[in-house]
Amino acid sequence: MITVMRLGHRRGRDDRISSHVGLTARQFGADKIIYSGEKDTNMMESLDDVIDRWGGFFDVEYREDFRRVIKDFEGLKIHLTMYGEPLDEKIDEVKRKEEDVLVIVGSQKVPREVYEMVDLNIGVGHQPHSEVAALGVFLYELEDREIKQGFEGADVRVVPSEKDKLMEEG
């Protein structure tokens, strides 16, 4: 099981990016996202609406105490940070472990203690960039470069097309 944790969500400021963290997590194989920071029921309901319409199972949860989530998690804890060890050097080690994975991404400045609470600090590149991009690349590599094309129970599906935006419902 793969759980993504979004640290330090700020209502109004991080709505779009936090939503994209959740959508990216779902698309690339995570089972659950946990938000910490400010509780934002609107953002979480928006994600739940996507899940309802586009299918699949994906759990969205809010937890105020990120420290407790990290401490209590039973499995491999990974923090994605540009300061971490290179993804290319660590991904095989992560794949070899047969345990649940908690992938942590920040929004505002990540508290120093997070770096010490996790098993691995991994960098998807060592330049400033989006946590959404880092999460997508990490999960893509973790899931052996597999991208889900659809989810069971979907009410809405994209019909791939070279030039048109086609969807089918039902």
**H, E, C per residue of the chain:** CEEEEEEEECCCCCHHHHHHHHHHHHHCCCCEEEEEECCCHHHHHHHHHHHHHHCCCCEEEECCCHHHHHHHCCCEEEEEEEEEEEHHHHHHHHHHCCCCEEEEECCCCCCHHHHHHCCEEEECCCCCCCHHHHHHHHHHHHCCCCCCCCCCCCCEEEECCCCCCEEEEC
pLDDT of res. 18: 94
Model confidence over 24-70: pLDDT tens digits?
Answer: 999 999 999 999 999 999 999 999 999 999 999 999 999 999 999 99
pLDDT digits (tens, 9 = 90+) for 101-151: 999 999 888 999 999 999 999 999 999 899 999 999 999 999 888 788 888
Domains and CATH numbers, the chain: 2-169 (3.40.1280.10)
pLDDT tens-digit series, residues 89-105 = 999 999 988 899 999 99
Q: Rounded to two decimals, what is the model's pTM?
A: 0.93
pLDDT at 85 over 90: yes
Q: What is the mean pLDDT of residues 72-79?
A: 97
pLDDT attached to residue 144? 84
**What pLDDT is attached to residue 106?**
93
pLDDT at 147: 82
Query: Which pLDDT belongs to residue 96?
Result: 87
Q: Is the pLDDT of residue 20 over 80?
A: yes
Contact 105, 137 (CB under 8 A): no
pLDDT at 145: 80
Q: Which amino acid, one-letter code, is at 40?
A: D
Dist. CA 80–CA 11, nearest whole Å: 22
